[in-house]
């Protein structure tokens, strides 16, 4: 990433979205926050302006329930961007399996945000990236999409679907010089009773943002974060669920 970018940040008001914005702005890149709450977006933008006065910061509402609006949103971003456009997606919503059992609408909502909104936006922005002939896409996945557990398999299925779609998108974009990276994160503490063994610590969002940029700069397709997330996946696959449940108590 030798040239300056304008990073479109989906889920711009989330904690990890803001952390990524700070990391990208620190490197001199412009920031374009996209999210559902304009007032929160403006607060996030002001934070970047105060920290990095030379960085151009823009905001745009993103209605994840109305994917038909995404083409227009991308057009606005393309018009306002002064540099090569890259995309970071932190779109995510999560409910435990118990919550989904009480309200089936929560499953629909998770698929809308975690899967459909992201693939519709990527499809809408793809022509812009292809026209540039360069750029980066970073999407946050989850180790929850690597295996099913009794407390979050609905959430995990939305991430599994996203992972498969991103694999094909990666192969398509690579032909046009665009780097697509998916970072599978563990233990964000956002869903289920437990998502990792109890002796592991919560994700450092600032470190996560820095690593996302590093992974993309190295043109990596998939990485786990933190380092032990890959171990989480391995343990889930080889250790019986009954034993894991005892370890997590």
Domain residue limits at 49: 5-248
Residue-wise pLDDT tens digits, 206-234: 999 999 999 999 999 999 998 777 777 78
Which structure tokens are listed for 55?
């960085």
Structure tokens at 56: 């151009």
> CATH number for the domain including 14?
3.40.50.720
Q: Is the pLDDT of residue 173 over 50?
A: yes
Using the predicted structure, report yes or no on whether residue 242 has a pLDDT greater than 90: no
The count of structural domains within the chain is: 1
CB 116 within 8 A of CB 67: yes
In the sheet with 136-142, reading across from the earlier edge strand, the strands are 57-61, 30-35, 5-10, 84-89, 136-142, 179-185, 222-225
Find, among 104, 107, 103, the residue nearest to 115 by Cα: 107
- DSSP for 168-225, written as a single string: HHHHHHHTTT-EEEEEEE---S-SSS-SS-TTSPPP-HHHHHHHHHHHHHTT-SEEEE
Cα four-point dihedral sign 104, 202, 139, 54: positive
Residue-wise pLDDT for 61-88, tens only, equals 999 999 999 999 999 999 999 999 999 9
DSSP tally for the chain: helices H, then strands E: 10, 7
Q: How far apart are the C-alpha atoms of 39 and 4, rounded to whole Å?
A: 27
Three-class DSSP category at 149: coil
| 8 A C-beta contact, residue 161 and residue 203 | no
What is the per-residue pLDDT for 191? 44
Task: Give the model confidence (pLDDT) of 97-146 as tens digits.
Answer: 999 999 999 999 999 999 999 999 999 999 999 999 999 999 999 988 98
- Over the range 180-212, which residues count as b (16 or more CB within 10 Å of their CB) and which as e? bbbbbbbbbebbbebbbeeeeeebebeebbbbb
């Amino acid at each position: 990433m030798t040239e300056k970018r304008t990073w479109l940040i989906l889920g711009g008001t989330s904690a990890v979205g803001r952390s990524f914005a700070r990391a990208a702005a620190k490197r001199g890149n412009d920031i374009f926050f996209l999210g559902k709450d304009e007032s929160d977006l403006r607060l996030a933008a002001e934070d970047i302006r105060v920290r990095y006065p030379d960085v151009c910061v823009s905001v745009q509402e993103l209605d994840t329930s109305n994917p038909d609006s995404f083409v227009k949103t991308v057009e606005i971003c393309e018009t306002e961007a002064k540099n090569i456009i890259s995309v970071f997606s932190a779109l995510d919503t999560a409910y435990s399996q118990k919550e989904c059992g009480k309200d089936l609408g929560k499953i629909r909502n998770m698929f809308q945000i975690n899967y459909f909104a992201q693939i519709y936006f990527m499809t809408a922005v793809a022509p812009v990236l292809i026209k540039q002939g360069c750029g980066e896409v970073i999407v946050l996945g989850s180790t929850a999409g690597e295996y099913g557990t009794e407390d979050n398999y609905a959430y995990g299925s939305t991430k599994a679907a996203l992972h498969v779609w991103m694999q094909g998108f990666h192969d398509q974009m690579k032909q046009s010089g665009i780097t697509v990276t998916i970072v599978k994160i563990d233990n964000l503490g956002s869903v289920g009773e437990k998502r990792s063994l109890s002796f592991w610590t919560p994700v450092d969002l600032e470190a996560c943002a820095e690593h996302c940029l590093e992974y993309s700069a190295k043109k990596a397709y998939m990485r786990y974060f933190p380092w032990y997330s890959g171990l989480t996946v391995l343990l889930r696959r080889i250790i019986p669920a009954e034993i894991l449940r005892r370890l997590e108590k």
